[in-house]
């Protein structure tokens, strides 16, 4: 990594990294550099709690990984992309930038035993719990580095990456297109850039989301987490009903398609997010609802808006996929 202020390479000096001009950046763990220091934002405060030791989402993820089919990690192009990266890095060097790496979910998937020998990983995120991400055996700082960094800005490194992934995060940055351009700036010729971003929902759901966010976003993180229980509780109660709604016609203005829906699914997809999943239980369902309603930025898109970002950055879209929640786009920069 380079000094974000002066550009020179940073040198490790025990628990800090230093630049030639005298800047010092804490290194709370080997292989972790904090380039933001005291900078805290409502987003970093939110995710420092969400991914910190108290909630310990990473342990939950590790234990439940095989069963978490409702998570974005198990959906759209992600599992196939991870497989392809692992396969390629089994034989060749692959430099990968995981932008907004979160609690290390993709990191764990990428380095699942046996860790692919060619993979060189850099994870960046704004939260303050990067030092808590557990490393699989054999994956030391030479193979994986974590950087506390705002991904809105171009990563300060001379490295160009063969793969850049940004899962379920770009919509949380203040100017997602700018963030996209910052990612694209570090993509090597021939490299792959994959993102998922929130999809625009029905107008009723969008309006409810905005109104509820306006009430939840200003709360301190702990209060917002406590309030998230109300969404969990509603979701759980609606799921307990076995009533089915039959919609006889497509209703394009309302973005409701004809079909049969369980009550919770019908409310959730069209009117209001109120998440509950038995595997997650109340506690981690709260975390999902907290993750939806509390972060200050949560932009939503139609697919074509995101396709335009790739086109304008000279990256060819090679795969797209859409669920009611998110769009997946994978692009390749021409050689």
Which CB, 106 or 325, lies closer to ligand SAM? Answer: 106
User: Does 6 sit near Zn ion (CB under 5 A)?
Assistant: yes
Tell me how far apart the terminal alpha carbons of the chain are, to the nearest angstrom. Answer: 25
Strand pairing report for 119-125 and 94-99: parallel
| Choice from 96, 151, 228, 325 touching ligand SAM (CB under 6 A) | 151
Q: Give residues 207-236 in contact with ligand SAM (rule: CB under 6 A).
A: none
Distance, CA of 322 to CA of 139 (rounded, Å): 33
- 19 binding partner (options Zn ion, ligand SAM, none; Cβ < 5 to 8 Å by kind): Zn ion
Distance, CA of 168 to CA of 125 (rounded, Å): 12
User: Does 277 sit near ligand SAM (CB under 6 A)?
Assistant: no
Q: What angle do CA 173, 179, 180 make, to 5 degrees?
A: 125
Residue 243 near residue 263 (C-beta atoms within 8 A):
yes
| Choice from 110, 126, 133, 187 touching ligand SAM (CB under 6 A) | 126
Between 21 and 40, how does the x/- string for binding to Zn ion read (CB under 5 A)? x-x-----------------
Closest residue by Cα to residue 289 from 224, 202, 222: 224
136: Cβ–Cβ under 8 A, 6 or more apart, which residues?
108, 111, 112, 113, 115
Between 168 and 207, how does the x/- string for binding to ligand SAM read (CB under 6 A)? xx--xx----------------------------------
| Choice from 150, 162, 286, 330 touching ligand SAM (CB under 6 A) | 150
Q: Give residues 13-72 in contact with ligand SAM (rule: CB under 6 A).
A: 43, 47
CA distances to 42, 44, 50, 153 from 173, rounded to whole Å, are 11, 11, 17, 10
Which CB, 221 or 256, lies closer to ligand SAM? Answer: 221
Chain residues binding ligand SAM by CB under 6 A are 43, 47, 100-102, 105-106, 125-127, 150-152, 167-169, 172-173, 291
Chain residues binding Zn ion by CB under 5 A are 3, 5-6, 19, 21, 23
């Amino acid at each position: 990594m380079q000094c974000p202020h002066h550009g020179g390479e940073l040198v490790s000096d025990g628990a800090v990294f230093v630049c030639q001009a005298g800047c010092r950046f804490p290194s709370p763990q080997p292989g972790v550099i904090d380039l933001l220091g005291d900078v805290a934002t409502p987003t970093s405060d939110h995710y420092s709690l969400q991914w910190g030791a108290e909630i310990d989402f990473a342990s939950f993820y590790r234990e439940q990984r095989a069963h978490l089919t409702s998570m974005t990690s198990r959906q759209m192009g992600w599992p196939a992309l991870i497989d392809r990266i692992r396969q390629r890095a089994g034989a060749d060097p692959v430099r990968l930038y995981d932008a907004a790496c979160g609690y290390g979910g993709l990191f764990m998937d990428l380095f699942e035993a046996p860790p692919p020998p060619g993979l060189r990983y850099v994870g960046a995120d704004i939260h303050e719990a990067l030092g808590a991400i557990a490393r699989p055996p054999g994956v030391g700082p030479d193979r994986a580095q974590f950087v506390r960094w705002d991904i809105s800005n171009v990563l300060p490194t001379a490295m160009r990456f063969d793969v850049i992934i940004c899962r379920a995060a770009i919509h949380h940055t203040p100017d997602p297109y700018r963030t996209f351009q910052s990612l694209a700036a570090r993509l090597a010729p021939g490299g792959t850039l994959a993102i998922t971003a929130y999809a625009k929902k029905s107008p009723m759901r969008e309006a409810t989301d905005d109104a509820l966010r306006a009430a939840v976003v200003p709360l301190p993180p702990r209060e917002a987490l406590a309030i998230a229980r109300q969404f969990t509780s509603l979701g759980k109660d609606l799921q307990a009903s076995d009533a089915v709604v039959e919609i006889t016609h497509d209703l394009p203005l309302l973005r409701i398609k004809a079909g049969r829906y369980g009550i919770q699914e019908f409310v959730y997809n069209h009117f209001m997010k109120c998440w509950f999943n038995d595997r997650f239980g109340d506690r981690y369902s709260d975390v999902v609802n907290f993750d939806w309603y509390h972060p200050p930025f949560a932009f939503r898109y139609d697919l074509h808006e995101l396709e335009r970002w790739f086109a304008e950055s000279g990256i060819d879209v090679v795969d797209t996929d859409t669920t009611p929640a998110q769009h997946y786009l994978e692009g390749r920069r021409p050689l």
